[in-house]
Amino acid sequence: MAILKIVKEDSNEGFLRKKSREVTEITPRINTLIDDMIETMRNANGCGLAAVQVGVLRRIVVIETEDDGLFVFINPEIIAKAGEQEGAEGCLSLPGKWGITKRPMYVTVRALDRNGKRIEVRGEGLLAKAMCHELDHLDGILYTDKVIRMLDEEEIQ
């Protein structure tokens, strides 16, 4: 496994704004990418990472929360949303920036797992927020596009 370089918003001329392509076959190379993404996310102390954030335009997301564990989503889509939550949100591709966003409290995602099995995962709270955030990345959307208010340094501490 390897720690990959995380693409920063201002470092690569709009790369994070590109739409990711569907994965048509889960190959050993895709599974290596997934392993590297997990290691990269953990190394950066993040709770989610999309393939576009490591320079790969494929519809792959990894998410890990303390309460819910690790999820790998290939070609994910949100199939249900409910409720609302408002809170601070940040991004590994926008280090040092935080903002207040509104996201659904509950989200259900349908995807393939790393073995090609169709899965449905219902997330609540932080997991739901992470699912929305990471799936947005696959369509070139950043949390700053949905921010209600950016936080200043005193509020982040």
Question: Is 9 a member of any domain?
Answer: no
- Domain with residue 58: its CATH number is 3.90.45.10
Tell me if 67 is assigned to some domain: yes
Domain count along the chain: 1
- Encode burial over 15-41: b for 16+ CB neighbours within 10 A, e otherwise: bbeeebeebeebeeebeebbebbbbbb
- Whether residue 120 is contained in a domain is answered as yes
Closest CA to 76 of 98, 108, 40: 108
Helix (H, G, I), strand (E, B) or coil at 68: coil
**Among 109, 114, 124, 89, which residue's Cα sits nearest to residue 27?**
114
Pairs from 101-106 (Cβ < 8 Å, separation ≥ 24): 101/129, 101/143, 101/146, 101/147, 101/148, 102/146, 102/148, 103/128, 103/129, 103/132, 103/133, 103/146, 104/128, 104/132, 106/80, 106/81, 106/82
| Residue 3 included in any domain | no
Query: For position 10, what pLDDT does the model report?
Result: 72
- Residue whose structure tokens are 């490591």: 54
**Range of the structural domain that residue 54 is part of:** 15-156
Average pLDDT of span 67-82:
98
The pLDDT value given to residue 105: 98
- pLDDT(1) > 90: no
pLDDT digits (tens, 9 = 90+) for 9-64: 877 678 999 999 999 999 999 999 999 999 999 999 999 999 999 999 999 999 99
pLDDT score of 155: 78
**Residue 65 placed within a domain:** yes
Amino acid at the residue 45: N
Q: Has residue 77 been placed in a domain? A: yes
With respect to residue 6, please indicate whether it lies within any of the assigned structural domains.
no
**Is residue 38 a part of any domain in this protein?**
yes
Residue in 8, 11, 20 with CA at minimum distance from that of residue 134: 20
pLDDT tens for residues 90-135? Answer: 999 999 999 999 999 999 999 999 999 999 999 999 999 999 999 9
The residues annotated with a catalytic role in the active site are 134
The closest alpha carbon to 108, from 120, 118, 95, belongs to 120
pLDDT over 90 at 156, yes or no: no
